[in-house]
Structure 1
Amino acid sequence: MNFRRPRVDEAGINLTPLIDVVFLLLIFFMVSTTFDRHADIQLQLPAADREPVAAERAWIDILVDATGEYYVDGKELVNRRPETLERALEQAVSERPGDPVLIRADANATHQSVVTALDVVGRLGISAVSIATIGRSPDAE
């Protein structure tokens, strides 16, 4: 008589595929989530109480009017081409070397005309350049 029982493997749940899927979902959500905390930062920017003191300096003045015309030291240029502006600015720099350049542009001037003036100033190697603005009135806020 054979009293041995046949060996039966117990059925079980294999968790390896489930763990793989959970880890893949975790990685997917970690990669695709953005942590934007810019809205949480509260800054109070400093304000100036006094008007800036006007310095007595000689400037090479580049004026850009609303139509995009250029003026160098009050003299209108014959056209709007960058080469013309470059020649006029070279002449002004040769007459007054070392003077900084001030770009004054009308509020309605195109962005391209101001960038062209800045590009010409950069090509001439002038590093002392400023852009003139006017102060905003307290009523405008």
Structure 2
Amino acid sequence: MNLRPSPRKSPGVDVTPLIDVVFLLLIFFMVSTTFERESQIMIELPEATGEEVEHKKDELDITINISGTFFVNQREVVNTEIETLKQAIRNAIGDQHDLPVIINADARTPHQSVMTAMDAASQLGLTKMTFSAHRPISE
């Protein structure tokens, strides 16, 4: 006869299924996440080769310098917020919503500043946009 009581196992939580669930969640998030590579590409923008275009008086001129500061018809905009730029454009165009927009951007201007200017103009109904460039200096 065996009179000794059998050793009891201490109660515990089986974590094997938990490990499986965590592993599946890890795989799910790795597959469903989109990765963006954010970098700035340093390039030299090409110079224009073509005919010069005469500027008309009834057009909107948006100039962006290297630091991203906006100028609307040669008047500096207070800051680089899109709402401020839209207000400056509204003041410049009045009730003329068919004016052509000429964007003069420095070659080293961040592209986000150019996109902000294009967004502000298009949100106000200005759809005729063009970019200006300079003719290369002949040696």
Same fold (TM over 0.5): yes
After superposing the two structures, state which structure 1 stretch, 103-112 or 53-62, moved more: 53-62
**Aligned position for 2:110:** 110
Q: Give the CA RMSD over aligned residues.
A: 2.2
The answer to whether residue 61 in structure 2 is matched with residue 61 in structure 1 is yes
Cα displacement (A) at 1:127: 1.1
Change (3 A) 1:57 1:121: same
Q: Please give the TM-score of this superposition, normalised by the length of structure 1.
A: 0.56
Q: Distance in 1 between matches of 2:88 and 2:101?
A: 13
Map 1:42-57; keep pairs closer than 5 Å: 51-54=51-54, 56-57=56-57
- Structure with bigger helix share is 1
CA shift at 1:77, angstroms? Answer: 1.1
Return closer, same or farther for 1:67/1:92 CA change in 2, 3 Å cut-off: same
The alpha-carbon deviation at position 120 of structure 1 amounts to 0.8
Does the C-alpha gap of structure 1 residues 56 and 117 become closer, same or farther in structure 2, counting only changes over 3 Å? closer
| Residue 133 of structure 2: aligned partner | 133
- 1:1-141 equivalences under 5 Å are 51-54=51-54, 56-94=56-94, 96-137=96-137
Identity %: 32
* Structure 2 gaps, min length 5: 1-48
Unaligned runs of 5+ in 1: 1-47
Distance 1:132 1:121 in 2: 16
Pair member with larger Rg: 1
